[in-house]
Structure 1
């Protein structure tokens, strides 16, 4: 199924990169070769653009046009630089509230989280360039258009974002069932970045080691975790309750 935010063909994608377009994901045909294809792959790596190798059947499903072994999705939103987001928000607010998503990969979960974040007045969402859910039609639809109402940053590494936030005086708090404290025992009425982990693995252990605080939600059944968008909503609304 073809989309308005889709481009195909090696040269067209190279031109999009040159023009500074926000490419959300690029699909490259497995074992594709040639000078122009090598140039594309080199440019994707140089610009740290998320791409993956797929069978030709996948590309043929994405578009009926002559794709030359490459199809790209252009993001419907523009992404901010982390430094730009933090500085602009902290100039206006004493106690900003940021959200970091560590490898949340489902577009519908991402959309639901964005919608809740906007409703809670969050100041920005930070995701990684690789492994994160794409900002595509599903994201826009699930967010009910909220994706256009909150700044989103893509960073090379979540750990670097955590260090930058900490150096800016922002407390980083991760949602994890491994925590000893519950979210209701935490002080959230301060400059804060909430960190939510991926659907299957949670927050990366290397990120857990460097964050300031960890908290969990109380669970009263043998099921030990919630859907990430539901858990994120619970954390955000506790932050809002404390800040009112």
Structure 2
């Protein structure tokens, strides 16, 4: 399994990126120097590939092979182009429904959301290139294979996706507690994209300033928030209810 999901070694990773391999994230050894390592860092920046610097012990846990201070995770899926996807959905004649995920960090939440998205007819999921959970084995397992059925797009910034959706005639609705409106006060019958925030921070405040509407789930107990995948499911099934 390791050989199918990882590339290890600095030169091998550089060559894989230049060959167009879909790299989800690269782990780099903290403090490592050298001309080849610097070349890898440059290639990662140029291609906007998510990376993080970790202790060598982390790399040793990822693989027993001679990693030379760099291990890349290969994405098991091909990511879609957002402009092509949105255009195809609009031209199909159906009422678009998209999901924007603002830097979710937990792969199991990610997988659970993908599974619910597939069950509720979501046309595509948009994530940010950096800062979010990767598409890996845990994502696949938790999604029950739905990751291969729902198109997923990567963008430089979620705000870019917001602006593109709005320019395409798609209302962008933020799932946030920072509003007096519940999801039952909002119409989801028109073309729409729902934004879900990260587990700890929620939706970035700069994004909340540019959305078309905000909505929250009514919470009747003492706990002030729901798990993001559960909240997402509630929103998506309200869309289904209104559109049936």
**TM-score bin (small chain):** over 0.9
| In 1, Cα distance between equivalents of 2:140 and 2:69 | 27
Is 1:155 the counterpart of 2:164? The answer is no
> What's the counterpart of residue 204 of structure 1?
204
Runs of at least 5 residues in structure 2 that lack an aligned partner in the other structure: none
> What's the counterpart of residue 139 of structure 1?
139
TM-score scaled by length of structure 1: 0.98
> What's the counterpart of residue 189 of structure 2?
189
> What's the counterpart of residue 30 of structure 1?
30
> What's the counterpart of residue 7 of structure 2?
7
* Aligned length in residues: 244
Residue 149 (structure 1) shift: 0.1
Q: For the aligned residues, what is the CA RMSD?
A: 0.9
Tell me, yes or no, if the aligned pair for 1:177 and 1:224 is still in contact at 8 Å: no
TM-score scaled by length of structure 2: 0.98
SS for the counterpart of 2:117 is helix
Deviations 1:182-204 (A, max 9, x none): 00111100100000000001100
Residue 93 (structure 1) shift: 2.9
Tell me, yes or no, if the aligned pair for 1:175 and 1:214 is still in contact at 8 Å: yes
Which 4+ stretches in 1 moved above 3 angstroms? none
| In 1, Cα distance between equivalents of 2:21 and 2:211 | 33
> What's the counterpart of residue 169 of structure 1?
169
| In 2, Cα distance between equivalents of 1:187 and 1:88 | 23
| In 1, Cα distance between equivalents of 2:60 and 2:206 | 38
Residue 94 (structure 1) shift: 3.9
Deviations 1:60-104 (A, max 9, x none): 110110000000000000001111111111110341000000011
> What's the counterpart of residue 116 of structure 2?
116
